[in-house]
Structure formats: structure tokens, C-alpha cells
Amino acid sequence: MNKTLPSPRRENEPLWRDEFSVSRADEHYVSRRQLAKFLTLASVGMFAGNLWILLRSWLRKAPEYPRRTIAEASEIPVGGVKLFQYPKPADQCIIIRAADATYVAYSQKCTHLSCAVFYAREHDRLECPCHQGYFSVTDGSVLQGPPTRPLPQVVLERSGDALVAIGMKPEV
């Protein structure tokens, strides 16, 4: 580094100039070595951050869902609904008997701002009253409104007359 020696104090210059004898030009001077050091440290930091994100996504376990009987098939009339909680007690869901042998279930939480959706039988769709978001009963996809993501679907299994929830699609 090209260091200049401090010049001798002139008569009317303050004393602190002697004690902090770094010239203004030197303060702004960044050597190539300092820049290389900074860039290397920044690169190592970014590499470590990305490695951490990658490891976390590799080590993340797929959520496990309980098997839970949520309704008896015969208790829901065609076009009827039943509310239930799945997978946790606070996760409100809705099951709809769309046809004689067709049952579909979704999370009741709208994917826009989490208002509760309900089944509008006259339009055969799930509707959110907050901002008129509409979802398909067939697959939970968005039909209209501000939501951009489909409703998470509860995966069902039939066991005799029992309708059993076995998971969520996509996983939540």
C-alpha cells in the first residue's frame, strides 16, 4: 500500500490532526487486496447460505398425516356437505357429496386471505364470501377471483361406509 507520511503540523492546524494522522485521500483508498478479501468473504458467505438452504430442503421430512374417519358416506345426501377438522384440530375442512358415489374434500381456508369457503350448491362450486373467489368442486382449482392457488384437497379413502382422510394434496 502506498502510505504517505503525515505532513508536519502547520501552525493553525488543530492538534487532533497529529493524533489521527490519516490523510483524507488515504481514507477513501481501497487496496486491491482489501477488495479481493471483501469479495472472497462475501462469496464464502453466500456459498454457505446456499449450502444451508440446500441441506435444509434435503433433510426436510415429508409431513405425516393421520388416517381419520371423517364421515359415514350414507350420512351425507347428494349435494350435501359436512364440516370436519383435518389434519389438526384447527384445520377446518369441508366434504361434499358431489354425486351419488363422488365425495370430495378440501381445506375450508381460502388461498387468498384465509376466509372460510362454503359450497354453493346452486352454482356447484366453492365460494369465498370475502372477495368472491370461486373454486371448482372437481379439483379445487380457481374459477374466478383474486386467489391464485387451488384449495388444498383432502385425500380420501373409502372403507365400507366410512370416508377416511389419509392426507393432503398438495402437502400443507
Residues near ligand FES (CB under 6 A), total: 11
Nearest residue (CB) to ligand FES, 87 versus 147: 147
| 150: contact with ligand FES by CB under 6 A | no
DSSP H or E run through 33: helix 32-59
The mark string for 93-132 relative to ligand FES (x by CB under 6 A, - otherwise) is -----------------x-xx-x------------x-xx-
Residue type, 130: C
Report, in Å, the least distance between residue 62 CB and ligand FES.
28
User: Is residue 23 helix, strand or coil?
Assistant: coil
Q: Write down the residue that cell numbers 409431513 correspond to.
A: 63
Cα–Cα dist 83/109, whole Å: 12
Task: Give the Cα separation of 70 and 164 in Å (integer).
Answer: 6
Contact positions vs ligand FES (CB under 6 A): 110, 112-113, 115, 128, 130-131, 133, 145-147
